[in-house]
Structure 1
Amino acid sequence: MYYQSAPHPIPPDIGKRVLRYRPPPWLRNGHVQSVWPTLFRKVSMTEPQTEVLPTSDGDQLHLDWYRQGSDRLAVLSHGLEGHSRRPYILGLARALLTAGWDVLAWNFRSCGGVMNLQPRFYHSGATEDLERVVNHGLAQKYNALFLSGFSMGGNLTLLYLGQQSEQVDSRICGAVAYSVPCDLAGSADELAKPSRKIYMQRFLRDLNVKMQEKASRFPDLIDVSGFEDIRTFRQFDNRYTAPLHGFRDAEDYWASCSALGKLRDIRVPSLMVNAADDPFLSPRCYPESRALLGQHVRLDAPRWGGHVGFVEHSRDGYYWSERRAIAHIQSVV
């Protein structure tokens, strides 16, 4: 399956036209920005070529390929309880395709409408799965590979690059990550606030459905009695994420899997874009010092944008975040 060009392609000089993000006044609110794309954005794309990639522990990863014969590949990672066909993934995929890249969008274990085979599911530090996807992409003989991730997928992307450090494959040329909860503990505390209850309820509703299915498959390992009493990620991660993935507790999981402490080890040009009004992020998700960022990571903190928002009403249908990604790619490739 090959991609067909969008009706309003990105001009080749998009990298020269990206300005500071200035949405209209009614979009200068982090909560509006965070929910608008989910409720109202539609991105038209041709059906991708799908593939099931086996893992070393007998599980499966489900991939969406958009190929157009390029020698450059972009790998896209979605957010918590997202999937490879969310509007933010499709929007960036369309922009990258028009800019001349092939695209591989992948689903974390248990995401994308297919339950995975093992008791474990996904978490913010599952870089072994991202590494498998990256290596699979590189095996297709691409000359360059670019990484991008949103929210949890952004943390995963930067954590992976930090772990790779000096050993990173020379074909990996850069990364851009949006709305990154690189301080997992702080972000969990932010989402535990009463003013964030609407987001927390939605996450827990979706996770409840998933854990109910997990419990039906693995009743000796997973108990969902009393799930309705869970109100925070601390409670959920203590009960499920940590024990199912080999962590002592939620604090151990967050400390081990936050990208913040690994940013300085990254060795490819990487851009982290965290809006200042993002309702999911803690103050530590905006590192400014070179001691934390290192020499290869840049933080952009637009005043507005919410969580995976950056809405733009334009004739060509692209959001500011997509233009910013293409500008970054053009600056490093």
Structure 2
Amino acid sequence: MPILKSQLTTKFPFKNPHVNTIYKFFYTKDKPAYNRKRIDTWDDDFIDLDFLTADSYSIVVLIHGLEGSSQSSYMLSTANYLHNLGYDVVCVNLRGCSGEDNRILKTYHAGKTDDVDYIVKHLLNNHNYKNIVLCGFSLGGNLTLKYLGEYSNSLPNEVKGGIAISVPVDLTTAQAELGKLKNKLYMQEFLRTLRSKVIAKTKQFSEYNPDPKLIAKATTFRDFEEIYTAPVFGFKSPEDYWEKASSKPYLSSLGRKALLINAKDDSFLSLECYPYETAENSDNFFLMTPKYGGHVGFVTSFNDASYWMEKQVVNFIQNTLNIYS
């Protein structure tokens, strides 16, 4: 019955989910000295990978959330924490998120696990890692869980498991939750950068010509999926995309052990994003739902040095997956 209890205690004002979410977003950690490697993909594009190496046989693959990058605060803090313990770390910059636009019309989406599989195979073909663990945040967590389920019958032996944090495992209901008034500021920020990327693609690719008025008026994820994700990636509709990209259907058939940490007060998540019943009936799917934490926050106090989130990652790697640096 892998529902794990959490011992997260936090103080005012971090019991407010928005304070927790926003503070973590702006709370800067020491920036590690990444070693960037650009890998060319099968479709004439590229993915930028940022490495922190410690000559370990174990590597943790960190995957950021929507419109994040290797420079996102949660990526920096987790990468530093793992590296200081002796693990090798690679921070994935999803297509178009490394500070340079990618080469093709397609960028990334919440269910694009072929990129994850390609990155894993690159690590195996070019390094001597015995253990590979995936750790994804928000959208990156959905990719992590979907990959472990979708590729369950073909996962390399070196892939030992994964951790997913603050994940909208049910995209249909989560996008509706994000569209509510309480999340208006977050939605505006997401769509600000997404709209600018779509506009850039229209200038780069003449065959992609959505109505500029629709781009300017896009105020919900459904608007964006209808303008870009669905037509560009071949989905029938936004609803078709949400259904096919969600990791929730894969949670009962994960090929490796995986932990999902979703705070109960995460304003981004719907009730359907807390799959207790699946965890209760699974040998591989572990679930932890602390009362507080916000969205990829889990801050306990000002100048937070508890590293609660990062410790959960390491505890699962060491105590459940039995992997050490």
What TM-score range do you get, normalising by the shorter chain? over 0.9
Q: Partners of 1:92 and 1:163 in 2: how far apart? A: 26
Q: Could you tell me which of 138, 162, 182 is aligned with 2:124?
A: 138
Per-residue CA distance 1:29-58 (angstroms, 9 max, x = gap): 11111111112x111133211111111110
Closer, same or farther: CA 56–99 of 1 in aligned 2, 3 Å: same
Letter in 1 for 2:43: D
Closer, same or farther: CA 60–20 of 1 in aligned 2, 3 Å: same
Q: Does 1:127 align with 2:123?
A: no
Q: How many residues align?
A: 315
State percent identity of aligned pairs.
Answer: 37
Q: Partners of 2:186 and 2:211 in 1: how far apart? A: 21
Match of 1:116 in 2: 102
Q: Could you tell me which of 232, 249, 252 is aligned with 1:261?
A: 249
Segments of structure 2 that go 5 or more residues without pairing to the other structure are: none
Instruction: Tell me, yes or no, if the aligned pair for 2:279 and 2:287 is still in contact at 8 Å.
Output: no
Segments of structure 1 that go 5 or more residues without pairing to the other structure are: 1-17
Q: Does 1:165 align with 2:147?
A: no
Instruction: Tell me, yes or no, if the aligned pair for 1:263 and 1:293 is still in contact at 8 Å.
Output: no
Instruction: Tell me, yes or no, if the aligned pair for 1:91 and 1:318 is still in contact at 8 Å.
Output: no
Closer, same or farther: CA 318–59 of 1 in aligned 2, 3 Å: farther
Q: Does 1:238 align with 2:233?
A: no
Letter in 1 for 2:204: R
* 1:230 Cα deviation from its structure 2 partner: 1.2
Q: Does 1:304 align with 2:266?
A: no
Q: Partners of 2:218 and 2:281 in 1: how far apart? A: 35
Structure 2 counterpart SS, 1:35: helix
Match of 1:29 in 2: 16
Structure 2 counterpart SS, 1:195: helix
Q: Does 1:44 align with 2:30?
A: yes
Q: Does 1:287 align with 2:291?
A: no
Q: Partners of 1:248 and 1:292 in 2: how far apart? A: 34
- With the length of structure 2 as denominator, give the TM-score of the two structures: 0.93
* 1:105 Cα deviation from its structure 2 partner: 0.5
Closer, same or farther: CA 25–316 of 1 in aligned 2, 3 Å: closer
Instruction: Tell me, yes or no, if the aligned pair for 1:212 and 1:224 is still in contact at 8 Å.
Output: no
Q: Does 1:104 align with 2:90?
A: yes
Q: Partners of 1:173 and 1:321 in 2: how far apart? A: 20
Letter in 2 for 1:238: E
Q: Partners of 2:96 and 2:159 in 1: how far apart? A: 27
* 1:290 Cα deviation from its structure 2 partner: 3.2
Match of 2:48 in 1: 62
Closer, same or farther: CA 170–293 of 1 in aligned 2, 3 Å: farther
Closer, same or farther: CA 89–291 of 1 in aligned 2, 3 Å: closer
Per-residue CA distance 1:214-269 (angstroms, 9 max, x = gap): 11101331335112211111111012111111111101101101000001111212
- With the length of structure 1 as denominator, give the TM-score of the two structures: 0.91
* 1:168 Cα deviation from its structure 2 partner: 1.6
Instruction: Tell me, yes or no, if the aligned pair for 2:6 and 2:288 is still in contact at 8 Å.
Output: no
Q: Partners of 1:32 and 1:46 in 2: how far apart? A: 26
Letter in 2 for 1:56: W
* 1:318 Cα deviation from its structure 2 partner: 4.9
Structure 2 counterpart SS, 1:165: coil
Q: Partners of 2:6 and 2:183 in 1: how far apart? A: 30
Q: Partners of 2:70 and 2:248 in 1: how far apart? A: 25
Instruction: Tell me, yes or no, if the aligned pair for 2:32 and 2:80 is still in contact at 8 Å.
Output: no
Q: Partners of 1:220 and 1:127 in 2: how far apart? A: 25
Closer, same or farther: CA 300–19 of 1 in aligned 2, 3 Å: closer
Q: Partners of 2:203 and 2:272 in 1: how far apart? A: 39
Q: Does 1:53 align with 2:35?
A: no
Q: Partners of 2:141 and 2:109 in 1: how far apart? A: 12
Q: Partners of 1:158 and 1:197 in 2: how far apart? A: 27
Closer, same or farther: CA 216–293 of 1 in aligned 2, 3 Å: farther
